[in-house]
Amino acid sequence: MVEEKVENKSDRRSRTTLTGQKMQPMKLNEVVPRKEPRVKTKMEELNRVLGGGVVPGSMVLLGGDPGIGKSTLLLQVSQQLAETGGTVLYVSGEESAEQIKMRAERLGAIKDEFYLYGETDMHDIRQAIENIQPNYVVIDSIQTMTQPDITSAAGSVSQVRETTAELLKIAKTNGIAIFIVGHVTKEGSIAGPRMLEHMVDTVLYFEGEQHQNFRILRAVKNRFGSTNEIGIFEMHGGGLVEVSNPSQVFLEERLAGATGSAIVVAMEGTRPILVEIQALITPTMFGNAKRTTTGLDFNRVSLIMAVLEKRAGLLLQNQDAYLKAAGGVKLNEPAIDLATAISIASSYKEKGTSATECFIGEIGLTGEIRRVTSIEQRVKEVQKLGFKKVYLPKNNLASWKPPKDIEVVGVATLEEALRKVFK
């Protein structure tokens, strides 16, 4: 428990709006929208997640585990934004200017219009922004910034709230795009008040295992675009490199003829991604069977196993089940149900699936295979990567002509799918 003194903040706060002007009620048809051109970076993955590029006057919050590459990503983005003719101010409260210079040299991020400022006092930061007049500001991190008028320690709820409100006003008043780095808690959410995520325009999470080179940039809130898009990067010695074909990355280590493996086409926003779902079914050594999932929804896997036992006759109640989505990606859409069921049945029956087969479909509680969305994009992605056969819901075959180079098999029930796959 930390004691925080409550101060009278009425005199310190401005009574004007974010734009610095008094607003009057207006009719909706009299409002003239401002069309701000987006600024595209050289990272197409980042542009897709942001909704098409960086919006002037926007505020982006980037969260992620320590050492995942947040500062590296923003340093590379700052370099590319400086190349477009803009001025970048990089404010760091965690590293010295010498440390950032060493990393920038390694990443090749040395540009003329790139300013470094090692400061945590918001009054000095505001003064620096007024003097330099940058187009872009990076705050690394928000938990180290302090308002001198508040007596609580840096990183406290009141400090994070007030510094974010100050930066938000600067962004909206001057049309400056501000990127904020936020620490995360043990549960993986942004540290500080929940209101922090409501104040900013975009919330991005940088995910990935520290022992793997792949990183996933995911948008959980975006006022200027979709929240279903993801960007995939690979960490190298020279910084983050975009992965233009993630499907090939997720499938490159798949063993031919292995049991308990099935390929699914998952949609991440508008992009189809092929992912390998792996299952290991072993007899339980104790009274209660164990269920473990990684990258898959636990309740969904339990539901599919119950349907397999009831509708397909697989005795799974005395079997331990371990399932994962290979590559560290998280899947949470109904179209992965059929591939999950096939991988479980493959491990249980000790029969492998073909390396050129793919599975798409949602499973109902009565054992039916229900139609899914974006079936044409999914099948085109499968065909592009050289797959020869795809199993999908029979109802998805209506009013649609499959490509010629791939065999499309429509299935209506889970029992029919198992019979056709395992002969």
- What is the C-alpha separation between 156 and 158, in angstroms, rounded? 6
At residue 299's C-alpha, the angle toward residues 296 and 303, to 5°, is 105
Cα R_g (the chain), whole angstroms: 25
- What is the C-alpha separation between 346 and 352, in angstroms, rounded? 6
Q: Is 179 exposed, middle or buried (0-12, 13-18, 19+ CB in 10 A)?
A: buried
Q: Is 231 flagged in the annotation as binding?
A: no
- What is the C-alpha separation between 151 and 130, in angstroms, rounded? 25
At residue 74's C-alpha, the angle toward residues 332 and 107, to 5°, is 115
Q: Is 175 flagged in the annotation as binding?
A: no
DSSP of 43-111: -HHHHHHHTSSBPTT-EEEEEE-TTSSHHHHHHHHHHHHHHTT--EEEEESSS-HHHHHHHHHHHT---
- Determine phi and psi for 357, rounding to 5 degrees: -110, 145
Q: Please write down the HEC assignment for all residues of 9-51.
A: CCCCCCCCCCCCCCCCCCCHHHCCCCCCCCECCCCHHHHHHHC
Q: Is 65 flagged in the annotation as binding?
A: yes
- What is the C-alpha separation between 129 and 177, in angstroms, rounded? 12
Q: Is 11 flagged in the annotation as binding?
A: no
> Which of 326, 359, 356, 325 has the alpha carbon at shortest distance from 342?
359
> Which of 386, 410, 406 has the alpha carbon at shortest distance from 397?
410
Q: For residue 242, what is the DSSP state? A: E
Q: Is 64 flagged in the annotation as binding?
A: yes
Q: Is 70 flagged in the annotation as binding?
A: yes
Sign of the torsion formed by the C-alpha atoms of 183, 196, 298 and 276: negative
Residues 6+ apart with CB under 8 A from 165: 199
- What is the C-alpha separation between 309 and 304, in angstroms, rounded? 9
> Which of 308, 329, 328 has the alpha carbon at shortest distance from 317?
308
- Other Cβ atoms less than 10 A from the Cβ of 196: the count is 22
Q: For residue 389, what is the DSSP state? A: E
Q: Is 67 flagged in the annotation as binding?
A: yes
Q: Is 69 flagged in the annotation as binding?
A: yes
Binding site members: 64-71
Binding site members for ATP: 64-71
